[in-house]
Amino acid sequence: MMNFIVYILVYPLIWLLSILPFRILYIISDAIYVLLYYVIGYRKKVVLYNLKLAFPNKPEEEIFTIRKKFYHHFVDIFIEMIKSFTVSKEEVYKRYKYTNVELLNEMYKDGKSAILMGPHYANWEWIMSIDSFVGYKGYAAYTKVNNKYFNKKIINSREKFGTHLMQTSKIITEIQYNKKNNIQSMYGLLSDQSPQIHKTHYWRDFFGVKVPVHTGGEMLAKKYDLNVVYMNVKKIKRGYYETTFSLITTNATKYPNYELTDIFIDKVEKQVQNKPEYYFWTHKRFKHKDKAPV
């Protein structure tokens, strides 16, 4: 009952925000940034800690500049997530471009399904629109929201682009079903965050710090013979993005264990180093660094 009360009180406000034009939303975003950064100070210490670990050779002044730029982008992302509830397909197509979608369409001809891997960088939400440009049946792994009313609304708003949201815990079942029934699919995984220690199979350096890393993408690719593709999202300007795809492999089984994971993490590092302010630095990515096995 409490979840429903929260939903009926909060969602109308979210909807009202969502129908505003982007130019107004970004003015609101600027105001929230001032409040979040200068007044509340949301996770500023976490972000600073992460940046200093990742870029130990950068001068402190540059680190603080990156942090400020990150918070501007951070608020924009959540404003864009809110806008996703009512934004039209045409508006997203205008703002979220693909430079080489033909790579995916060429791969589609081989009859195999694929895994699309990427980090929490720039805008990862609007990749949902990819389903309109490829032959694959699209899926995106996500973590279920506890409030079932908000969870249903989020699913509906994202799936209007054609891509299906699938709980991470159910993705294997869906892959098995699609493979058995010859449904050629593409599964989107954001695999750059920190896994739970008890589920960790592999540790490696990330920006020079040994951390646990997700290996699920590699495991799925090998077990179900999936092509593996990396998505590199670039922020062109405020509210506009460009995604470029690069093929990692069409034969995952030929790689030694964890080599595909290494390739993925190396690509993430390179992308983040280029424009670090667009990475999701509020996440405690290095929280297990002192627990690495010797």
Report pLDDT digits (tens) over 163-208. Answer: 999 888 899 999 999 999 999 999 999 999 888 888 888 999 999 9
290 vs 293: CA distance, rounded Å: 9
189 vs 118: CA distance, rounded Å: 7
Residue 143: what pLDDT? 85
Is residue 147 pLDDT above 80, yes or no? yes
Domain carrying residue 49? 2-291
Give the closest residue to 186 by CA, choosing from 227, 144, 215, 243: 227
Give the closest residue to 78 by CA, choosing from 164, 143, 23, 18: 18
What are 58's two structure tokens? 């950068």
Helix (H, G, I), strand (E, B) or coil at 8: helix
Alpha helices by DSSP H, the chain: 2-18, 22-34, 44-54, 60-83, 89-95, 102-108, 148-159, 171-180, 216-223, 259-274
184 vs 51: CA distance, rounded Å: 40
Integer CA distances (angstroms), 210 to 85, 108, 123, 172, 289, in order: 38, 36, 26, 28, 6
5 vs 192: CA distance, rounded Å: 35
Report pLDDT digits (tens) over 37-71. Answer: 999 999 999 999 999 999 999 999 999 999 999 99
Residue 282: what pLDDT? 95
Residue 168: what pLDDT? 86
Between 26 and 284, whose confidence is greater? 26
Q: What is the Cα 218 distance to its own chain's centre?
A: 17
Q: What's the average model confidence in pLDDT over 269-291?
A: 93
Q: What's the average model confidence in pLDDT over 8-16?
A: 92
Is residue 291 pLDDT above 90, yes or no? no
The bridge status of strand 185-190 relative to strand 203-206 is unpaired
Model confidence at 269, in pLDDT bands (50, 70, 90)?
Answer: very high
Residue 4: what pLDDT? 84
Residue 75: what pLDDT? 98
Model confidence at 273, in pLDDT bands (50, 70, 90)?
Answer: very high
105 vs 97: CA distance, rounded Å: 16
Domain total of the chain:
1
Percent of the chain's residues with pLDDT above 90? 80
pTM for the model stands at: 0.93
